[in-house]
Structure 1
């Protein structure tokens, strides 16, 4: 459990420990010391005393503390820096403690506030969806069991059990956006509209459903728009405007590793139609640039952050769908399950063959067969024929024994593809952002 020592996390930690005592479960309280407040050391001491007292009473709870290193960069939001560092620390601490479930004490007021703040920033469905009730992150489920509970219910629990908790003095600083909303806007909003909290939290739930539908639709549209190494613009323009915008945002999120800036999405929507007939066009993007080349939109890393060459062979197990990071190579392999009957270009390879895939250094003798009736040719000639620029050729070569399996920018070798109608997996290489 994420445990700051404040009212909400104190209440949830206490309630969770009481519930787990009857089930033989152990609760690990995770406290992150941000190093931003002069009271931070006192807060750690309070949490240690509180947890030790509960443990002495027989509650199955222990405490783990982590201190963030560094400070926010010049111009960086303190809230954003603290949130990013806190989330990374909580994930590491949970995994180190052997936990697969991480509880957070956000409640209905928090959800309503998040919805309002995102709306004021002009967010779309992803932002208005606010905080998910549960989300899996690299083997840990982050859950908010009290997301539909009003703040008053938590205050009543704290009072009923006489729980001591921390009052963070920074919560009274209106320079932070959420504090300004709580201190200046919410009292008037609640007085004028008593049901505001419940109504706004409900709107966030509707936005979550809309976001899920958008993601499902993008999952159907993107396979139809994929080219050899990017987004096939002519196929993408065949979608309706709303579906094209949705697919573009999903593709950008995939290749950038983060949500694309709204300004970039708007610019691409406005300029791609006119630029598709140009031999080359490009747009700056996080970590590099987007380049239109031979009708395909591709993300290219900045030259200074080019992925390193493969220096040593290794064996990989790619038999399960998911994301397989290869940080030493500057990217990740995406393994996806193709449905029976799916005739998408590129097809796939039987999952049973992917339990032992060899990653090897690039060799001049490697030859690739793009389709069943083609003659295997050198990688250079295949890349040139497919119109893959040099920047799109970096990444790992994968083999099944002595047979070439996958080449970045070209895809699966035709000699290893499964027939449509049989269970199979597809492979894609995505470089990390710079």
Structure 2
């Protein structure tokens, strides 16, 4: 409520100085978890009405979640994911480009400690970023360097009505235990603890950014030139720490769960592993070493029968493309019936024309398909092309992309040479990841 009050007053003052009028949208998430949730929603709506009467260009929005956590599911994580999804949806519907969040320095200190207690690395210890681009929106935390006491003083000075969430006193939640039982003792023994912990989070943010940049550089040197696999020899040549850092970056980028124990095993075992070696990932998938290349198995076995449901005979891409798709925009599609993701990555040459995407259909491999890998080559059986390129059996069951009765793309091989867009034209290279 303090951040909302400060925001609409700033917007009003700017407009009074001749700046364009900036409408302010109050986004309220009704989680459906507290018996007081309806009262909180009504309180916020009434307060927005009062401030509109004082000259605020203020609009109130609400989204109901109705969360129903399953046994063993983290209520905090479920609420957080639902909350951010709801905020993003309301912001886009309201035409907003920026979302302001009221996290403060004490919140940042708590987050740093919670992540440390969970054994997090630099990315986790970085806690909450002050600014981030996500879901097509810019998320800002303008008060991240301000202590809670300053905000409480602002509330008192302006007599801002607000609600105290009774669940904040529930010790079943880890953050509440930390806030109520640990932080008071820590501040008593070390008065500057919140500031020091927030500063540590800021240094962790720098470290995490540097590690991501290093991983991106290593990925360029280690990734196979014709696909998403890693070249095992080049990977093994890195130091164990860089190897773990690159593997974390690479697996996370493909939407796969990353366990510290797995990274440790890979760092130690890869230099000595032979072809056919495999390491377990999540949901029954494997990370396999084949002909000197490391790649995730798209279904955990080479047989498509082990997948959760057989893929459809044909599915059009058009209904799954986001509205307003523009040239040069990377895209990831989850096609119903396929246990994987289709990644569309902008390229300068050798890709598929942007205009083609809306007319393509995905079909499973049936046998007898022909594919031409080079302009100077000739069409050959898809099986022969897979063998020549060293594509492992478990990556050969990705969907094939067709335009009518012409096979235009095999994600594991690329775009058929006869179907590639002219240089200089906006184009994509499809890639499949299980």
- Considering only aligned residues, what root-mean-square deviation do their CA atoms show, in Å? 3.0
For CA contacts below 8 A with separation 6 or more, give which structure has more relative contact order. Answer: 1
Give the distance between the partners of 2:310 and 2:93, measured in 1 at CA. Answer: 30
In the alignment, structure 1 segments of 5+ residues that lack a partner are 1-9, 339-347
Deviates more, 1:290-299 or 1:324-333: 324-333
The CA distance in 1 between the partners of 2:313 and 2:221, in whole Å, is 31
The residue number in structure 1 matching 2:239 is: 240
Corresponding residue of 2:356: 356
Residues 94-148 of structure 1: per-residue CA shift (max 9 Å, x gap): 1122212111110111111111111111111110111111111221111111111
Shift of 1:252: 0.7
Q: Does 1:32 align with 2:29?
A: yes
Task: Give SS of 2:307's match.
Answer: helix
Q: Secondary structure at the match of 1:59?
A: coil
Contact 2:315–2:362 (Cα < 8 Å) also in 1: yes
| Map of 1:11 onto structure 2 | 2
**Number of residues paired by the alignment?**
410
Verify the 8 A CA contact 1:332 1:429 in the aligned structure 2: yes
What is the DSSP-based 3-state SS (H/G/I as helix, E as strand, rest coil) of the residue aligned with 2:360?
strand
Give the drift of 1:172.
1.3
Which residue in the other structure is 1:292 paired with? 289
Q: CA deviation at 1:162?
A: 0.2
Q: Distance in 2 between matches of 1:158 and 1:63?
A: 20
- Quote the Cα distance in structure 2 between the aligned partners of 1:120 and 1:49: 41
User: 1:309: Cα distance to partner?
Assistant: 4.2
Query: Which of these residues, 2, 10, 20, is aligned with residue 11 of structure 2?
Result: 20
- What is the distance in 2 between the residues matched to 1:122 and 1:389? 36
Q: CA deviation at 1:374?
A: 4.2
How far off its partner does 1:414 sit?
5.0
> TM-score, normalized by length of structure 2?
0.84
Q: For residues 375 and 163 of structure 1, what CA distance do their matches in structure 2 show?
A: 74
Secondary structure of residue in 2 paired with 1:206: helix
Counterpart contact for 1:314–1:359, Cα < 8 Å: yes
CA distance in 2, matches of 1:318, 1:269: 39
Partner of residue 331 from structure 1, selected from 324, 341, 344: 341
SS of residue paired to 2:128: coil
Out of 126, 132, 137, the residue aligned to residue 129 of structure 1 is 126
Tell me, in whole angstroms, the C-alpha distance in 1 between the residues paired with 2:310 and 2:48: 46
| Cα contact 1:229–1:296 (8 A) shared by 2 | no
User: Residues 430 and 212 (structure 1 numbering): CA distance in 2 closer, same or farther, change over 3 Å?
Assistant: farther
| Range moving further from structure 2, 93-102 or 156-165 | 93-102
Q: Unaligned regions of 5+ residues in structure 2, if any?
A: 301-305
